[in-house]
């Protein structure tokens, strides 16, 4: 048997929904057809991709590893097919939150002025690499350390950390806060794409409790609703002002690096132009080599 693109699409539908039934609905196929296609793929690869031993499907370690590679292959095929049908080849720039902060508008406008024939699509994807590792975007603006294999990065700038508080919180009247000021508070942590963890605090002085959220919108809602406080960077304050929210500088923490990342290998031909423009727009050094 030859592995075909339909096998990849079938597996990705199962991986996204963790359900043969919902995957079949998405693909407009019968459940037996979806199960048969998955078995064919597993037999051809010689590995088990999906664990069917429980009432709920789960990807095996091999399935998790294969998912990103399958997504890249399908995306590349769709992009190539789309390019053959239209003149413009959009450059997709992902971000998990806050894009380029207050520099976002300048970056987008400068790109349009300098490269009007190549649309720059800014996409927020709630994922640790903003969809870059699985091929959803061509490049990404990321914060913190990027350790995902197969990605290259260039540091653009750094951002100071701030505390997000309800606007009527007594701490919101302060000009600056410290980690110790938050020790008796509930902390909202973005476990999907955020960079703040309890490791930011000394072990003996960590916040009393935490709540876990999955994106910036839910993070803001948890704080403005009075359920928690949060730690982010100055970019969030610039991109997400809110009448019920206050952002106060956090003094005793290191700044957060902001990087542009791209995959190591063939990619969109305009990626070098995007890296240069991002470096210029965010004010990063011109002589720092990619890492």
Q: Where are the domains of the chain?
A: 5-84, 91-156+260-282, 161-249
Q: Burial, 28: exposed, middle or buried (Cβ in 10 Å; 0-12, 13-18, 19+)?
A: exposed
Tracing tokens 């990027």 back to the chain, one arrives at: 146
Phi, psi of 233 (to 5 degrees): -115, 170
Concatenating the DSSP letter of every residue in 155-207 gives EEEEE-EEEEEETTSGGGG-S-B-GGGGTTSEEEEETTT----GGGS-GGG--
Span between the terminal Cα atoms of the chain, in Å: 41
Q: Comparing C-alpha atoms, which of 166, 139, 165, 161 is closest to residue 151?
A: 139
pLDDT at position 146 is 92
pLDDT at position 88 is 64
pLDDT at position 55 is 67
**pLDDT one digit per residue (tens) for the chain, 291 residues:** 688 888 888 988 888 888 888 888 888 888 899 999 999 999 999 999 998 876 678 889 998 888 888 888 887 777 666 665 555 678 999 999 999 999 999 999 999 999 998 999 999 999 889 988 888 899 999 999 998 888 999 999 999 999 999 999 999 999 999 999 999 999 999 988 999 999 999 998 999 899 999 899 999 999 999 999 999 999 999 999 999 999 999 999 999 999 999 988 778 889 999 999 999 998 754 434 333
Q: Tell me the CATH architecture of domain 161-249.
A: 3-Layer(aba) Sandwich (3.40)
Give dist(CA 176, CA 220) in Å, integer: 20
Give dist(CA 74, CA 62) in Å, integer: 18
Asked if CATH classification 3.40.50.2300 holds for the domain at 91-156+260-282, the reply, yes or no, is no
- pTM for this structure? 0.72
pLDDT at position 278 is 96
Give dist(CA 8, CA 69) in Å, integer: 10
pLDDT at position 82 is 62
Asked if CATH classification 3.30.365.10 holds for the domain at 5-84, the reply, yes or no, is no
Give dist(CA 130, CA 212) in Å, integer: 19
Concatenating the DSSP letter of every residue in 212-247 gives EESSHHHHHHHHHTTS-BEEEEHHHHHH---TTEEE
Q: Comparing C-alpha atoms, which of 185, 282, 288 is closest to residue 238?
A: 282
pLDDT at position 25 is 86
Give dist(CA 171, CA 184) in Å, integer: 12
pLDDT at position 86 is 54
Fold match between domain 91-156+260-282 and domain 161-249: yes
Q: How many CB atoms lie within 10 A of CB 141?
A: 28
């Amino acid at each position: 048997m030859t592995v075909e693109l339909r096998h990849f699409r079938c597996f990705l539908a199962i991986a996204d929904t963790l359900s043969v039934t919902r995957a079949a609905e998405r693909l407009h196929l019968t459940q037996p057809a979806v199960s048969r296609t998955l078995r064919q793929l597993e037999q051809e690869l010689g590995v088990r991709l999906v664990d069917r031993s429980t009432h709920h499907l789960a990807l095996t370690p091999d399935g998790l590893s294969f998912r990103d590679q399958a997504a890249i292959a399908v995306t590349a095929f769709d992009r190539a097919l789309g390019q053959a049908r239209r003149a413009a080849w959009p450059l997709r720039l992902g971000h998990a939150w806050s894009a380029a902060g207050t520099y976002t508008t300048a970056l987008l406008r400068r790109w349009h002025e300098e490269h009007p024939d190549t649309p720059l699509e800014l996409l927020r994807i709630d994922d640790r690499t903003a969809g870059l590792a699985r091929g959803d975007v061509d490049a990404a603006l990321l914060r913190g350390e990027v350790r995902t294999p197969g990605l290259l990065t260039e540091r653009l700038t750094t951002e100071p950390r701030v505390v997000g508080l309800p606007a009527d919180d007594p701490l919101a009247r302060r000009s600056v806060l410290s980690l110790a000021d938050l020790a008796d508070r509930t902390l909202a942590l973005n476990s999907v794409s955020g960079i703040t963890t309890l490791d930011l605090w000394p072990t003996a002085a960590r916040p009393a409790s935490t709540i876990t959220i999955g994106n910036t919108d839910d993070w803001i809602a948890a704080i403005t609703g009075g359920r928690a406080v949060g730690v982010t960077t100055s970019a969030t304050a610039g991109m997400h002002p809110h009448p019920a929210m206050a952002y106060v500088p956090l003094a005793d923490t290191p700044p957060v690096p902001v990087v542009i990342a791209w995959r190591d290998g063939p990619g969109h031909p305009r990626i070098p132009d995007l890296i240069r423009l991002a470096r210029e727009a965010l004010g990063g050094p011109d002589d720092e080599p990619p890492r």
